[in-house]
Structure 1
Amino acid sequence: MTAAAKPRFDDMPPATQAGILCNDPRFQTFAAVRCGYPGGQFIASAAAEYVRLICGVNSRRMLNINTAAAERFAALLTEFDAHTGKIARPQR
């Protein structure tokens, strides 16, 4: 597969994005800290449970069909991007 044929993360459906994100060690640490485990790191399944809890779904697949859940996931992704420095943090 060439780089041109590989889909961009931002073009993937939310459920696919969530699956990738939950396997990212940076997100696993982010989720653990957000759950009150500073210095800890979740495994992928715990990160997936965190996403389901925050988004209010029982399956990440629901992110593709539940608009409110998809919006909550987008907000979570924005918070993670700010946490990692991918985007600037909003001024308060």
Structure 2
Amino acid sequence: MPPAQRAGILCNDPRFQAFAAMRTGYPGKTFLPSAAAEYVRLTCGVNSRRLLNTNSAAAERFAALLTEFDAHTGKIARPHR
């Protein structure tokens, strides 16, 4: 699945919306999909999620964001520090 499509689906996930709210300083809140999309755009340094398909640096930042979210939700193990 292309990164832009994955980002669109992710922004509609209530768990990701809560994660994005927490990461931006609003713990205990849940963002709407539009706010989650803005979080993805800001985090990845793009003005459109569509650019995740063509901008390799942004795609790498999105992949890192997905890894952080997967660790947050327990889908993957958190790295030991």
State how far apart, in whole Å, the 1-side matches of 2:38 and 2:15 are. 16
Unaligned ranges ≥5, structure 2 = none
Q: Displacement, 1:71?
A: 0.1
SS of equivalent to 1:58: coil
State how far apart, in whole Å, the 2-side matches of 1:18 and 1:38 are. 21
Alignment correspondent of 1:80: 69
| 1:48 aligned to which of 37, 40, 45 | 37
Amino acid at match of 2:64: A
Amino acid at match of 2:77: A
Q: Displacement, 1:45?
A: 0.1
| 1:64 aligned to which of 46, 53, 56 | 53
Pair 1:14 & 2:6 matched: no
State how far apart, in whole Å, the 2-side matches of 1:13 and 1:89 are. 25
Higher share of residues assigned helix: 2
Amino acid at match of 1:83: H
Cα-Cα RMSD = 0.2
Q: Displacement, 1:39?
A: 0.3
User: RCO greater where, 1 or 2, for CA within 8 Å and sep 6 or more?
Assistant: 2
State how far apart, in whole Å, the 1-side matches of 2:12 and 2:28 are. 18
- How many residues matched? 81
Pair 1:33 & 2:22 matched: yes
Alignment correspondent of 1:6: none
- Identity level (%): 83
Q: Displacement, 1:54?
A: 0.2
| 4+ residue runs over 4 A deviation | none
